[in-house]
Amino acid sequence: MDFHPDRAAYSPRQDSKIPTPTSSPRQRTHGDDSRIPVAVIHPGSIERLGIHHSWSTSSFVDVRVVAADYDEARDALVEKGARVAILGLRPLASSSAAVNVSILRDTLRRHTDIRWIILSPQPCPECQTASKQEGAFGYFDTPLSIEQLESAVAWVDIGRQVGWHDAPVASSVGLRNTHATAAEDSLAEDQLWKVDASHVRPRIHRNTESPFQESSSGLKKLSEREREVLEGLASGRTNQQIADELYLSVKTIETYRSRLKQKLGLKDRAEIVAFFHSRV
């Protein structure tokens, strides 16, 4: 899966879309930076450097560790305080399923306090099974755009499972249906994003108080169109994608975005995503 910094994270395919979620309510570290501290461990230099470059201006993801393998990342994972880590596996053409499984198990067992997302360049049932057994929060063996991967990080940071299931392109209509779906249940079959809490191993206790509780009452003040824009933003879509879907101009979407942020008392996309997740 090749990385294209301007568009896709792992493949020239540009048709995959997936929903997004959130900045974490967990205790923040490293000053007042509210972004999610992330480690990127990937054997492909194009992939890991592409992710790092693409997220250099992200408002809610902070890449603190970039390494080709675990040995290179080992000390920094602790020193830099990574909460979520992306582990890329080698293509089977240059490795084997057994080797990938061994690396995966060894890495995750050494850092059970980190929430892991596994990226496989091709389907690998053994790798998927090992990921579940070792408590990974996410597993993907299909192409993702950089925005989708960023969304996966956001979901995982608040303890949600991502990936794991094969499914076609998701839509904002399908995303709206998730309001009626419990977190531990898989979403409808037309969802690319599946939520499955059964794979989560016990983790460190987290503060469950939501910083967005005061914003909940503001949801009733949103117009139907503002709610549609809110869901689009929370699903990882760009202003242009939301505009295309709603048959509106980008400028109009920006106006709705400003209005809903003001009404809900939210500052940035990270808080928009976290607020939306708190309502699902």
Q: What is the CATH number of the domain that holds 157?
A: 3.40.50.2300
Is 221 inside a domain boundary?
A: yes
Whole-angstrom distance, CA of residue 275 vs CA of residue 160: 15
* Structure tokens given for 58: 């992200």
Phi, psi of 172 (to 5 degrees): -65, -30
Q: Are 234 and 276 in contact (CB under 8 A)?
A: yes
> Is residue 40 pLDDT above 90, yes or no?
yes
The sheet with strand 162-163 has its strands ordered as 61-67, 36-41, 84-88, 115-119, 138-140, 162-163
- Res 280: pLDDT: 53
Asked if 68 and 125 sit in the same domain, the reply is yes
Instruction: Read off the pLDDT band of 176 (50, 70, 90).
Output: very low
Is 154 inside a domain boundary?
A: yes
Asked if 191 and 228 sit in the same domain, the reply is no
Asked if 50 and 145 sit in the same domain, the reply is yes
Whole-angstrom distance, CA of residue 19 vs CA of residue 25: 20
Stretch among 6-20, 159-173, 261-275 having the lowest mean pLDDT:
6-20
Q: Are 249 and 189 in contact (CB under 8 A)?
A: no
For 91, 120, 182, the CA distances from 96, given in Å and listed in that order, are 8, 12, 37
- Res 279: pLDDT: 63
Is 260 inside a domain boundary?
A: yes
Whole-angstrom distance, CA of residue 267 vs CA of residue 250: 20
Instruction: Read off the pLDDT band of 124 (50, 70, 90).
Output: very high
Asked if 60 and 137 sit in the same domain, the reply is yes
Nearest CA to 277 out of 227, 231, 228 is that of: 231
Is 1 inside a domain boundary?
A: no
Q: What percent of the chain has pLDDT over 90?
A: 24
Asked if 263 and 128 sit in the same domain, the reply is no
* pLDDT, average across residues 258-268: 86
What domain range is 152 assigned to? 36-167+183-199
Whole-angstrom distance, CA of residue 107 vs CA of residue 116: 10
- Res 218: pLDDT: 61
Q: pLDDT averaged over the chain?
A: 72
Nearest CA to 196 out of 156, 155, 161, 152 is that of: 161
Q: Are 138 and 116 in contact (CB under 8 A)?
A: yes
Phi, psi of 171 (to 5 degrees): -130, 165
- Res 144: pLDDT: 82
What is the number of domains present in the chain? Answer: 2
Classify the phi-psi angles of 185: left when phi > 0, otherwise alpha if psi is within -120 to 50, otherwise beta: beta
Nearest CA to 225 out of 241, 242, 240 is that of: 242
Asked if 82 and 129 sit in the same domain, the reply is yes
> Is residue 126 pLDDT above 90, yes or no?
yes
Report, in angstroms and rounded to the nearest whole number, the Rg of the chain calculated over CA atoms.
18
Q: Are 210 and 278 in contact (CB under 8 A)?
A: yes
Residue whose pair of structure tokens reads 């509106």 in the numeric block: 248
Stretch among 134-138, 168-172, 206-210 having the lowest mean pLDDT:
168-172
Whole-angstrom distance, CA of residue 248 vs CA of residue 40: 36
- Res 159: pLDDT: 84
> Is residue 97 pLDDT above 70, yes or no?
yes
Asked if 74 and 194 sit in the same domain, the reply is yes
Asked if 219 and 128 sit in the same domain, the reply is no
Q: Are 170 and 16 in contact (CB under 8 A)?
A: no
Bridge partners of 267? none
The pTM of the full predicted model, rounded to 2 decimals, is 0.55
Asked if 121 and 250 sit in the same domain, the reply is no
Asked if 142 and 70 sit in the same domain, the reply is yes
Nearest CA to 178 out of 162, 198, 164 is that of: 162
Q: What is the CATH number of the domain that holds 265?
A: 1.10.10.10
Considering 95-109, 195-209, 265-279, the range whose residues carry the highest mean pLDDT is 95-109
Stretch among 23-32, 55-64, 140-149, 241-250 having the lowest mean pLDDT:
23-32
- Res 135: pLDDT: 93
Residue 109 has a CB neighbour count (10 Å cut-off) of 10
- Res 194: pLDDT: 38
Instruction: Read off the pLDDT band of 180 (50, 70, 90).
Output: very low
* pLDDT, average across residues 52-62: 86
Q: Which secondary structure element, helix H or strand E, spans residue 123, and what is its range? A: none
- Res 139: pLDDT: 94
Asked if 193 and 223 sit in the same domain, the reply is no
- Res 234: pLDDT: 81
* Structure tokens given for 123: 């389907």
Stretch among 77-81, 199-203, 268-272 having the lowest mean pLDDT:
199-203
* pLDDT, average across residues 175-192: 30
* Structure tokens given for 257: 């975005």
Asked if 260 and 127 sit in the same domain, the reply is no
Stretch among 79-83, 188-192, 262-266 having the lowest mean pLDDT:
188-192
